[in-house]
Every structure is written in structure tokens, then in C-alpha cells.
Amino acid sequence: MDKQIILGTGLNGLVGSKFVSDFADHYQFDNLDLRDSQRPVDITNQEQVDRVIAQSKAKFLIHFAAFTNVTAAFEQKEDKKGLCYQVNVEGTRNIALACQKFNKQLIHISTAYVFDGQKETLYTEEDLLSPIEWYGQTKAWAEEIVQATDNLTWTILRIDQPFRSDPFPKLDVAWKLIKGMRAGKIHPQFSDHFFGPSYIDDFAKVLDAVIRLKLTGLFHATSGEQWTDFAFAQALSQKLKIDYQVEAGSLAKYLKTSQRPYQKNTALSVEKLKSVLDFDLKSINSAISEIRA
Ligand SMILES: NC(=O)c1ccc[n+]([C@@H]2O[C@H](COP(=O)([O-])OP(=O)(O)OC[C@H]3O[C@@H](n4cnc5c(N)ncnc54)[C@H](OP(=O)(O)O)[C@@H]3O)[C@@H](O)[C@H]2O)c1
């Protein structure tokens, strides 16, 4: 049987490439890729986007592509001509409009950085957008564009600090710590900063479920757990048997020396997602045990 065609942006990135490798047997992927030598597509160019999407038989488009360097984004604050705004906001607008015109369901990947991090408990899908830095602001605008596009069938999935079982050229939060600890040096890890690690191998299964079950609407798609940087680094060193004594650090102290705002807590509740999924999400402890380090 022919494999279902899935259109995607950012399928070469940290998160998208895992979905492609894990589900290569199920789907045929068509990447709108800036660096494709045959058919380069810049998502900030509406004509290029429209041309490819118009010709595709795919029913779904997964939009991973983004300007993801949060520190570099901070340097572009308020600059709507800057790459961060152009890719995250205008690029998403082009993708949403093309999906509307050519009748594709848009699965848009977003981030917990749309929140200010002041909430002490897990953020839910009901919580209002409250970004505090430029990357989060551009991703929040992107979400608003997706939701406001008339006659568009959409799914928004928010993740936080994603990590995968295998290493990728752009190191994720887990692999940065693993490589650092193995090399004998990581910074003290904040014990007053909370996040919701997302296991990318599991997130790939969530994407498959969104397609299979035709899920629509806004979902948080992390592990649903809340960790400190310190506890996460300790769990990695213990489970992967890395001989390293992790030191505790303080975000509150660090913020006194940093210009860039940081969200104190970006952990997300996944109760809504769990109520519609047909498989169980892995705990972060089980996910860490699967890391091939
Ligand atoms: N990584 C995180 O910590 C994190 C956390 C929360 C949410 N997210 C979200 O998850 C999604 C995937 O993130 P990621 O870390 O996998 O991203 P990534 O590794 O930085 O990859 C970004 C992808 O976007 C593509 N891209 C950038 N500008 C483009 C343009 N103008 N036209 C076409 N493609 C373009 C890049 O293409 P090239 O390879 O050709 O450059 C690359 O494939 C993003 O939406 C991000 O906001 C990520």
C-alpha cells in the first residue's frame, strides 16, 4: 500500500528529524526545506510555499520550522524585519494561509515559552499567553495567527526542553549535560528553575496519533512532569552511570547578572492530551533509561 504523504517544514531539525526517522515506514515525507538543492523553500516566501503546497496530495502539514535560538532572538527584540520575527511569525502566516487555501490540516509546533513562567504549578491549555522574551513573543503571535485563520483545520502542540534518545548535531538539554559531565565540566544546575522535559521519541508517537486520530485543537505535549535542572542532571548522571558530582546553582542569583529574562517555570500539564491518546506517555525516568549514551 502507498504510504501516506506528510508535508513538513523543519524536518531536518532536532525534533522533526526524529519523527521522520522513527516513522519512515509509515509515512512519505515531503520537506519544505531551505537547503534543498532541487527545490529550496523559504517559508518566509509566500509564493514558494504556495507552489509546493498547491501541488501536494498530502492531507497534513507539520510545521516544525522556526528560529529557535532564544538568546539570538533576544538580540532581535522588537525587530520585525529580523529573522526571528520573519520566520516565526511571517513564515507561520504563509504556512497557515497556504494550508487554508489548499485544504491541509496544519499541525503547528509551539513552545512553553509562550508563558511568563510565574505560575508555580503546571500550565494548562486554559492559561493565557504571557510571553516575556522575543522568541516566546514571536511563537505566541504564531499561535494566534494559526487560531485566527478562517476555515483552517489546526492542531497546536506545545513542547518544552525536548531531548531525544540518540545524539543530534544540535545538542539538546540532555545531551549537552551528558557530554559536559563526561568531559568533566558543567555549570552548577539551577535548583530553583522548573521545566517540563519533552521526550522527543514519545513526541514522535504523539504526532503519529494526531494524524491517525485526526486530533484538532490546542494540546500540551510534554511528559507532563516538572523537573529542576539540578534534579534532571542528577538523574542523567545516576541512570547513565556518569561519575560526576552535580553542583546546585540558583536562577534567582543568575538573573541578577543577566539581561535576558528567563521563565522560572515552564512545566505543562498534559491531562488534556492523555485523555485522547491511545498509548501511555513515558515517564522521564524511563525516557532517560532509553538514552543511548
Ligand atoms: N528545541 C527546543 O528547545 C524547543 C523547545 C520548545 C519548542 N520548540 C519548537 O519545536 C520546533 C522544532 O524545533 P527544533 O529544535 O527541532 O528546531 P531546529 O533544530 O532549530 O530546526 C529548525 C528547522 O527550521 C528550518 N528553517 C528555519 N528557517 C527556515 C526558513 N526560512 N524556511 C524553511 N525552513 C526553515 C531549519 O531548516 P535548515 O535545517 O535548512 O536550516 C531547520 O530544519 C520549533 O517550532 C520550535 O519552536 C523547540
pLDDT in tens, 130-166: 999 999 999 999 999 999 999 999 999 999 999 999 9
Ligand 1 centroid to 242 CA: how many Å?
30
Q: Which atom of ligand 1 lies nearest, measured to the CA of 36?
A: 40
Does any domain span residue 157? yes
Q: Provide the residue range defining the domain that includes 39.
A: 4-164+197-224+268-282
Grid coordinates in use for 156? 497546536
Does any domain span residue 28? yes
Ligand 1 centroid to 66 CA: how many Å?
4
What residue spans of the chain are helical by DSSP H? 16-22, 46-55, 70-75, 83-85, 92-101, 134-148, 173-182, 200-212, 229-239, 251-255, 271-274, 284-290
CATH value at residue 46: 3.40.50.720
Grid coordinates in use for 184? 568533566
From residue 91, alpha-carbon distances to 135, 160, 172 in Å are 14, 21, 24
Using a 10 angstrom Cβ sphere, with 0-12 exposed, 13-18 middle and 19 or more buried, the burial of residue 261 is middle
Ligand 1 centroid to 137 CA: how many Å?
16
Q: How many C-beta neighbours within 10 Å does residue 55 have? A: 10
Q: Which atom of ligand 1 lies nearest, measured to the CA of 44?
A: 31
Ligand 1 centroid to 16 CA: how many Å?
8
pLDDT in tens, 46-55: 999 999 999 9
Does any domain span residue 262? no
Choose one of 34, 93, 137, 146 to mutate for the ligand 1 pocket test, by most ligand atoms within 8 angstroms of C-beta.
34
Total structural domains in the chain? 1
Choose one of 14, 62, 266 to mutate for the ligand 1 pocket test, by most ligand atoms within 8 angstroms of C-beta.
14
- Is residue 95 scored above 90 in pLDDT? yes
Does any domain span residue 122? yes
- Is residue 235 scored above 90 in pLDDT? yes
> Amino acid letter at 257?
T
Does any domain span residue 170? no
Structure confidence at residue 236 (pLDDT): 98
Which residue, by CA, sits nearest to atom 18 of ligand 1? 13
Structure confidence at residue 54 (pLDDT): 98
Grid coordinates in use for 147? 487560531
Does any domain span residue 64? yes
Query: Is 263:196 a contact under the CB 8 Å cutoff?
Result: no
Ligand 1 centroid to 241 CA: how many Å?
31
Query: Is 211:104 a contact under the CB 8 Å cutoff?
Result: no
CA atoms of 226 and 2, how far apart (whole Å): 41
- Is residue 293 scored above 90 in pLDDT? no
Structure confidence at residue 10 (pLDDT): 98
pLDDT in tens, 159-211: 999 999 999 999 999 999 999 999 999 999 999 999 999 999 999 999 999 99
Tell me the pTM.
0.98
Ligand 1 centroid to 42 CA: how many Å?
13
- Is residue 225 scored above 90 in pLDDT? yes
Does any domain span residue 175? no
- Is residue 1 scored above 80 in pLDDT? no
Q: Which atom of ligand 1 lies nearest, measured to the CA of 109?
A: 45
Q: Which atom of ligand 1 lies nearest, measured to the CA of 168?
A: 19
Q: What is the mean pLDDT of the chain?
A: 97
Residues having CB within 6 Å of any atom of ligand 1? 9-10, 12-16, 33-35, 41-44, 64-66, 68, 87, 91, 109, 111, 139, 159-162, 170
Does any domain span residue 179? no
Q: Which atom of ligand 1 lies nearest, measured to the CA of 63?
A: 45
Cα 23 off chain centre by: 18
Residue 278 has what DSSP assignment?
A: S
Ligand 1 centroid to 151 CA: how many Å?
26
